[in-house]
Amino acid sequence: MDVLGIDIGGSGIKAAPVDVTTGAFSAPRVKVATPRPALPDPIAEAVKGLVDGYGWTGPTGIAFPGVVIGGVTYTAANLDPAWIGLDARALFAKATGLTVSLLNDADAAGTAEMKFGAAAGQDGTVLLLTFGTGIGSALFTDGVLVPNTEFGHIEIHGKDAEERASERARELHDLSWGKWAGRVDDYLTHLEALVSPSLFIIGGGISRKSDKFLPLLTGVRAKIVPAALHNDAGIVGAAMAAAAT
């Protein structure tokens, strides 16, 4: 069964039809820039453009970079505050004319990694972290997701963790791999003290460059692996969520 997966990020919106039985794309991925300011209506229009580009009329799942409960978006750290408290699922349904599912982007990525990727079949506590414009988190215990954990916003040395250790922070402050990895190590150490995962998965685009920083992450007891689906995990997980409803 094919489902359209769409992943809304702080810099780009990506989409692809996904065969949810294998996790593979059934057509090439398309990416457009996230409209700025990142207001609801222009983003809904961009989503509609992606849906129309595939001539899509079937089930559709959307991953969103904020807390999502019952289709309502409650935070939007890297988008416009107009999303806060909005029935975003209804907005996307109206814009596209389709029934859509909506969930947090890191939760989507984690769902895909648990089924098809780096944590397939993994029991115990698994924590996936995505490093991009922000830091997203997805916490699993024996394969079951605890949604909307938002560990990118724990405070470390008086600052929001994602301000210090996201991929954007690395680029913005022109941090060396060593310096950035030091910040990530510090962050993982805090998280290990809080939830003691047996496995950390490092997701987001940065997961393709894991040779540059994984050997530098030495502070935690848990195993650390890169996401197997890299930056496509959000699209796959969004599609899986729609297939499950």
Gap between the Cα atoms of 118 and 131, Å rounded: 16
The residue (of 51 and 128) whose beta carbon lies closer to ligand BGC is: 128
Residue 217 is encoded by which pair of tokens? 């992450």
For the bound state, the minimum distance from the C-beta of residue 98 to ligand BGC, rounded and expressed in Å, comes to 23
The two beta strands, 223-226 and 199-203, are parallel
Residues that bind ligand BGC (CB under 6 A): 65-67, 75, 77-78, 104-106, 130, 132, 134-136, 150, 152, 162
For the bound state, the minimum distance from the C-beta of residue 127 to ligand BGC, rounded and expressed in Å, comes to 13
The residue (of 68 and 228) whose beta carbon lies closer to ligand BGC is: 68
For the bound state, the minimum distance from the C-beta of residue 10 to ligand BGC, rounded and expressed in Å, comes to 6
For the bound state, the minimum distance from the C-beta of residue 79 to ligand BGC, rounded and expressed in Å, comes to 9
The residue (of 10 and 98) whose beta carbon lies closer to ligand BGC is: 10
End-to-end CA distance of the chain: 13
Instruction: Give kind and range of the element (H or E) at residue 185.
Output: helix 177-195
Give the contacts of 225 (CB within 8 A, at least 6 positions apart).
118, 199, 200, 201, 202
The residue (of 18 and 67) whose beta carbon lies closer to ligand BGC is: 67
